[in-house]
């Protein structure tokens, strides 16, 4: 965990972060905006972040240390975020995810001149899971990859990681995404013999930059479906005959019901 993160939220529960502006120099790496790390019931809303690293990086411990500690980040809602991050993601899940990441809801996000929207970063040795991820209503402008999953995010804290500790990536839902000036709609790399499963992408419209990549969707070791997605996705994410909407939970998290009270002078 770099000490120079602008904001670090570590091992917490019942936190609301509201109306924050973080302006970090985009040329300086390792300046993540907000890092919920092993946090339960967290609400991040109405924030504006300019960063040289991920605007929001969701984490839960690294390799054998994170597996042993075993504290997930769960029940997290991120909404009404505006992000500029030319070198990194709008919201990264991982790469430190060895306590697990589950039940993350992201909605109403605008990203401009950002490398990717949501990025999942993991690798063999990290164990645990990233699951039950729900994302909707993204407005994106000038982006390298809209959807990015990396199963070979190789950095390890030492030699002691367990090569049998495979992460389970499943039930990942993206819907209602409009993106302009995109270089490559999707680079999705799962892990051999440990595919990322239950990926659902619906109602997505992506227009390309003047010089897009030739291969628009590059998918390996992933399984899932798409519906009403343009340009058409890879064969591993077949278009459904009957249109569907990918899931987004109807219930609210407990932290969404918490009202902040202000003191009057």
Q: How far is the CB of 258 from ligand NAG (least distance, A)?
A: 27
* Cβ 218 to ligand NAG shortest distance, Å: 4
Distances (CA, A) of 38 to 14, 72, 120, 187: 12, 5, 16, 27
Query: Any contact of residue 228 with ligand NAG (CB under 6 A)?
Result: yes
Concerning whether 103 is annotated as a catalytic residue, the answer is: no
Q: How many residues does the chain have?
A: 265
Interacting span for ligand NAG (CB under 6 A) from 70-78, 123-131, 154-162, 181-189 = 181-189
Residues 186-215 interacting with ligand NAG (rule: CB under 6 A)? 189, 202-203, 209, 215
User: H or E stretch including 90?
Assistant: strand 89-93
DSSP β-ladder status, 217-220 and 168-189: parallel
Burial label, 160 (beta-carbon count in 10 A; 0-12, 13-18, 19+): exposed
- Minimum CB–partner distance for residue 159 and ligand NAG (Å): 25
- Strands 217-220, 21-23: pairing is unpaired
Is residue 63 within a helix (H) or strand (E), and if so which, with residue range? helix 63-69
**Residue from the set 218, 231, 247, 255 that interacts with ligand NAG by CB under 6 A:** 218
Q: Is 183 in the site for ligand NAG (CB under 6 A)?
A: yes
d(CA 110, CA 113): 10
Q: Which of 16, 139, 181, 240 binds ligand NAG (CB under 6 A)?
A: 181
Tokens of 201: 């992408």
Shortest gap between Cβ of 83 and ligand NAG (angstroms)? 16
Closest to ligand NAG by CB, 160 vs 243, is 243
Nearer to ligand NAG, 223 or 245 (CB): 245
User: Cβ closer to ligand NAG: 74 or 176?
Assistant: 176
Which sequence positions are flagged as catalytic? 53
């Amino acid at each position: 965990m770099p000490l120079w993160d602008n904001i670090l939220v570590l091992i917490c529960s019942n936190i609301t972060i509201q109306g924050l502006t973080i302006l970090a120099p985009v040329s300086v790496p390792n300046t993540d905006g907000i890092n919920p790390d092993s946090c339960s019931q967290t609400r991040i809303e109405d924030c504006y972040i300019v960063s040289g690293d991920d605007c929001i990086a969701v984490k839960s411990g690294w390799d054998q240390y994170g597996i042993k500690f075993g504290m997930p980040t769960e029940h997290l809602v991120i909404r009404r975020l505006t992000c500029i991050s030319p070198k990194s993601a709008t919201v990264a899940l991982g790469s430190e995810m060895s306590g697990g990441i589950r039940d993350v809801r992201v909605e109403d996000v605008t990203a401009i001149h950002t490398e990717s929207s949501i990025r999942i970063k993991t690798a063999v040795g990290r164990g645990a899971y990233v699951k039950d991820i729900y994302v909707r209503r993204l407005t994106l402008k000038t982006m390298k990859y809209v959807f990015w999953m990396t199963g070979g995010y190789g950095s390890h804290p030492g030699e002691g990681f367990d090569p049998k500790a495979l992460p389970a990536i499943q039930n990942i839902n993206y819907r209602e995404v409009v993106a302009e000036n995109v270089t490559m709609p999707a680079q999705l790399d799962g892990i051999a013999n440990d595919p990322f499963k239950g990926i659902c992408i619906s109602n997505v419209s992506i227009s390309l930059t003047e010089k897009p990549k030739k291969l628009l969707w590059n998918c390996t070791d992933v399984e899932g479906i798409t519906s009403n997605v343009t340009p058409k996705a890879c064969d591993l994410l077949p278009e459904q005959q009957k249109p569907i909407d990918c899931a987004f939970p109807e219930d609210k998290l407990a932290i969404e019901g918490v009202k902040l009270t202000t003191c009057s002078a």
